[in-house]
DNA sequence: TGTGTGGTAGATAACGTTGTCACGTCGCGT
DNA sequence: ACGCGACGTGACAACGTTATCTACCACACA
């Protein structure tokens, strides 16, 4: 008992394997064997060790174990903003896969800032995560990751591809998504279709714009710059864009919003106007069906995105050495009313 | 050069401080001093070391450093489900505070399962996180954390208090919130007010129910069990509850929904019925203002909740030794129309 | 010339694990 | 009786850092 408490105090904090060994009167390695369930330990020894563990309340120091072992059983997830429902759904999926593989997950938000992304990614690497799932910040250049990847870190990019470097990526079919949106609106008779998207240096924003333009052109319609507004979907920005598009002799009769933020901003703004306006949003969102009219969207699946990326990461961690790949997750147009308003 | 590459290969993976020391032809500790910016290193030495670091692409192994130092500069965040917008907002706030303090953040979801919560919390502790922010799962008992806390881990509970143990907690004013909701509905002439909340063993659900009951009773109205439904707010559950409450000679004319999920479920269900029903939801949510009518809610502030909890955690990590405390974050009724429907 | 003194540098021992190896003790076949 | 695996056990080094302590040098001072 006094032996016990003396032992416990020694470390100041937690009991170590050494303390257990001393208390049980066995060798250090024997404790290690018992803790790890290795064979060739006599039942008598094992029992003594277990008793000592119990008495001291010992729990193994994972950090030390993993230092020795050379891997950490952690992955890092870097996204733009956990608080964005799209990314939090993605995060939930990654987390689930990580847990299923017995890994813990670091999470951090780059806040769409390339420097912060880099800093956080390198902080993860300094912690020697085994892998990284990254939603790149706009205008980031990922060459900074090369040394880490050469050192063995597995990186998988989601939603946006790596820049300056070949790396696995899991992307949504952005081009196909806006193409489908345009087709849908054309089918309902619209010929003047506006587009409000996020800042053009964001990969997904650029891709979606491309889908919009390509589909228009392929349909024999002009691509009119004045019907496009790219920028952070702040209320003022959206308001000004709508003012512009709805003015003049040929106002737009339909609008595509490039992401969930833009869609919401447009809905807010339009609700203060009198004009009827058909709308298709990119990204599905909760309650889209409860608005009047329901909001037609191009849905893509953040959960599939996250799960697929994490699965690929773990396949690589388990030794899969296939070539760098880009996986595309399909998008799907969900008609709910707002896109079906006819001219 | 061949020395260099041989050295680099040695570890199989990354160069270590030892490799740097060897290449620079200096002692191990000198490298350590340079890396940590300690004084008393001659400029000549420092320069040689920096050159070697550069050449090898060395980056320090944070895990090893922290093993030696005895702390990890990590905290763990445990919540019900990252994908729930309420919790992801909370997570974002915690993450921000962690980053501001130079800490990394582990995130995991308990999925409202006490066993999983325990397992994850202990996994965090095995990684020797310095602190823990926990949204307890329903019917969890937190005595399992006692040894960890005695060993120095700081735990702060958010949204729901610890069970079986005194611990810091940051809670919303749940009782006050539903009281305010009841007052609001009474003021608009309602006398038959239903309540649909989450499972009764969830702390917040119980508290909110209490506020509802207390305010009714204080106002001289009867508390009628048949107007209350507590359970997972699945569509069928909500549907059945509404059927019951809206039937009979004295149907409810107003309803309080106990959380964001319940509110949404109620909205969906009500939209398929003909009856007019006043509604106040607990938890604000995006687009609540865009629905027709706008949804009146009792808003509470997940960001304030998370930030306050994390701040308290870090104050304790910095040595603050005040008594265990419970901080209550106020709630605020936001009238938007759905609660203002008169009888 | 001996002696402090102050500033550098490195050897060595930790931190808490696990892997390698060597040791002793069986039981068994020859 | 002897060698020989198989088994159980523990000493020891290693993982990549940091802290402690000692050694060295140069210089100023008595």
Confidence of residue A341 (pLDDT cuts 50, 70, 90): confident
User: Which residues in A lie closer than 8 A to residue B151 (C-beta atoms)?
Assistant: 13-14
Tokens of residue A131, six digits: 């892998």
pLDDT at B102 (0 to 100) = 94
Tokens of residue B342, six digits: 């008169």
Residue A38 Cβ < 7 Å to strand D: no
pLDDT at A274 (0 to 100) = 87
pLDDT at B225 (0 to 100) = 94
Contact of B60 with chain A, judged by CB distance below 8 Å, is answered with yes
Confidence of residue A4 (pLDDT cuts 50, 70, 90): very low
Contact of A101 with chain B, judged by CB distance below 8 Å, is answered with no
Q: How close A332 comes to chain B (CA, Å)? A: 21
Q: Convert the pLDDT of each residue in B143-179 to its tens digit.
A: 999 999 999 999 999 999 999 999 999 999 999 999 9
H helix or E strand, kind and range, residue B130: none
**A8 has pLDDT over 80:** no
**A12 has pLDDT over 60:** no
With CB atoms and an 8 Å threshold, state whether A59 touches B264.
no
CB count within 10 Å of CB B326 equals: 13
In this prediction, residues B225-231 reach a mean pLDDT of 96
pLDDT at A153 (0 to 100) = 95
Confidence of residue A2 (pLDDT cuts 50, 70, 90): very low
H helix or E strand, kind and range, residue B89: helix B85-100
**B198 has pLDDT over 90:** yes
Per the CB < 8 A criterion, the answer to whether A267 and A242 are in contact is no
Q: Convert the pLDDT of each residue in B258-297 to its tens digit.
A: 999 999 999 999 999 988 899 999 999 989 999 989 999 9
Rounding to the nearest 10 degrees, give the CA dihedral for residues B226, B232, B236, B242: 30
Tokens of residue A142, six digits: 């990922």
Cβ density class A212-248: b for 16+ within 10 Å, e for less:
bbebbeeeeeeebeebbbbbebeeebbbebbeebbee
Element counts in chain A: helices (H) and strands (E): 13, 12
Partner-chain residue, chosen from A105, A106, A267, that has the shortest CB–CB distance to B290: A267
User: What's the helix, strand, coil split of chain B in %, to 5?
Assistant: 45, 15, 40
Chain B's closest residue to A9, CA to CA, is B151
Per the CB < 8 A criterion, the answer to whether A52 and A58 are in contact is yes
pLDDT at B107 (0 to 100) = 97
DSSP conformational letter for B223: -
In this prediction, residues A107-123 reach a mean pLDDT of 97
At residue A4, the 3 state secondary structure works out as helix
Q: By percentage, how much of chain B surpasses pLDDT 70?
A: 97
Give the mean pLDDT of chain A. 93
In this prediction, residues A168-176 reach a mean pLDDT of 98
Q: Convert the pLDDT of each residue in A27-66 to its tens digit.
A: 999 999 999 999 889 999 999 999 999 999 999 999 999 9
**A11 has pLDDT over 50:** no
User: Which residues in B lie closer than 8 A to residue A14 (C-beta atoms)?
Assistant: 151-152
In this prediction, residues A251-273 reach a mean pLDDT of 95
**B6 has pLDDT over 90:** no
At residue B170, the 3 state secondary structure works out as strand
pLDDT at B13 (0 to 100) = 76
pLDDT at B115 (0 to 100) = 97
Tokens of residue A71, six digits: 């891997």
Tokens of residue B185, six digits: 């509905």
Q: Please state, in angstroms and rounded to a whole number, the distance separating the CA atoms of residues B224 and B216.
A: 10
In this prediction, residues A209-221 reach a mean pLDDT of 97
At residue A338, the 3 state secondary structure works out as coil
In this prediction, residues A69-75 reach a mean pLDDT of 92
**B5 has pLDDT over 90:** no
DSSP conformational letter for A233: -
Least confident of A110-119, A159-168, B4-13, B314-323: B4-13
DSSP A44-80: HHHHHHHHHHHHHT----HHHHHHHHT--SEEEEEES
**A312 has pLDDT over 90:** yes
Rounding to the nearest 10 degrees, give the CA dihedral for residues B164, B165, B167, B173: 30
Contact of B99 with chain A, judged by CB distance below 8 Å, is answered with yes
Per the CB < 8 A criterion, the answer to whether B185 and B342 are in contact is no
pLDDT at B40 (0 to 100) = 86
Tokens of residue B196, six digits: 């649909």
Partner-chain residue, chosen from A64, A108, A285, that has the shortest CB–CB distance to B105: A108
SS in 3 state form for A114-167?
A: HHHHHHHHHHHHHCCCCEEEECCCCCCCHHHHHHHHHCCCEEEEECCCCCCCCC
At residue B302, the 3 state secondary structure works out as helix
Contact of B125 with chain A, judged by CB distance below 8 Å, is answered with yes
Measured N-to-C along each axis, helices A17-24 and A2-10 cross at an angle, to the nearest 10 degrees, of: 160
Distance B30 CA to D29 C1' (A): 31
Q: Convert the pLDDT of each residue in B68-121 to its tens digit.
A: 998 899 999 999 999 999 999 999 999 999 999 999 999 999 999 999 999 999
Alpha carbon of A138 to those of A117, B195, B294: distances in Å?
Answer: 10, 45, 35
User: Which residues in A lie closer than 8 A to residue B85 (C-beta atoms)?
Assistant: 83, 85, 88, 286
Q: Please state, in angstroms and rounded to a whole number, the distance separating the CA atoms of residues A157 and A78.
A: 10
CB count within 10 Å of CB B154 equals: 21
Residue B115 Cβ < 7 Å to strand D: no
CB count within 10 Å of CB B298 equals: 29
The 8 Å CB, 24+ separation contacts for A61-66 are: A61/A14, A61/A16, A61/B67, A61/B126, A61/B128, A62/B123, A62/B126, A62/B127, A62/B128, A63/B63, A63/B66, A63/B67, A63/B72, A63/B127, A63/B128, A64/B67, A66/B63
Confidence of residue B211 (pLDDT cuts 50, 70, 90): very high
Per the CB < 8 A criterion, the answer to whether B259 and B298 are in contact is no
Q: From its phi and psi, is residue B266 left (phi > 0), alpha (psi between -120 and 50) or beta?
A: alpha
Give the mean pLDDT of chain B. 93
With CB atoms and an 8 Å threshold, state whether A85 touches B89.
no
Tell me how far the alpha carbon of residue B36 is from its chain's centroid. 34
pLDDT at B342 (0 to 100) = 80
pLDDT at B2 (0 to 100) = 35
With CB atoms and an 8 Å threshold, state whether A62 touches B128.
yes
């Amino acid at each position: 008992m006094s032996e016990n408490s003396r032992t416990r105090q020694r470390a100041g904090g937690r009991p170590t394997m050494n303390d257990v060994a001393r208390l049980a009167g066995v060798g250090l390695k024997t404790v290690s064997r018992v803790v790890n369930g290795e064979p060739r330990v006599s039942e008598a020894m094992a029992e003594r060790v277990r008793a000592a563990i119990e008495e001291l309340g010992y729990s193994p120091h994972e950090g030390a174990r993993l230092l020795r072992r050379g891997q950490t059983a952690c992955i890092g997830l870097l996204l733009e903003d956990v608080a964005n429902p799209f990314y939090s759904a993605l995060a939930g999926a990654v987390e689930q896969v990580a847990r299923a593989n017995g890994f813990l997950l670091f999470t951090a938000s780059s806040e769409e800032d390339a420097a912060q992304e880099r800093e956080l990614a390198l902080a993860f690497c300094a912690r020697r995560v085994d892998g990284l799932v990254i939603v790149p910040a706009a205008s980031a250049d990922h060459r900074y990751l090369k040394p880490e990847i050469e050192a063995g870190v597995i990186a998988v990019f989601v939603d946006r591809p790596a820049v300056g470097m070949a790396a696995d990526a899991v992307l949504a079919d952005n081009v196909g998504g806006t193409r489908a949106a345009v087709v849908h609106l054309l089918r309902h008779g619209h010929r003047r279709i506006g587009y409000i998207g996020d800042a053009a240096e964001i990969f997904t924003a650029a891709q979606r714009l491309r889908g919009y333009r390509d589909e228009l052109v392929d349909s024999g319609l002009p691509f009119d710059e004045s019907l496009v507004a790219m920028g952070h979907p702040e209320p003022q920005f959206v308001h000004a864009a709508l003012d512009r598009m709805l003015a003049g002799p040929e106002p737009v009769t339909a609008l595509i919003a490039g992401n969930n933020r833009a869609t919401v901003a447009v809905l807010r703004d339009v609700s203060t106007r009198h004009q009827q306006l058909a709308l298709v949003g990119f990204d599905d969102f909760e309650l889209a069906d409860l608005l009047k009219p329901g909001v037609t969207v191009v849905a893509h699946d953040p959960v599939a995105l996250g799960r697929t990326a994490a699965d690929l990461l773990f396949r690589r961690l388990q030794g899969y050495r296939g070539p760098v790949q880009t996986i595309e997750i399909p998008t799907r147009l969900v008609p709910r009313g707002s896109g079906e308003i006819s001219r």
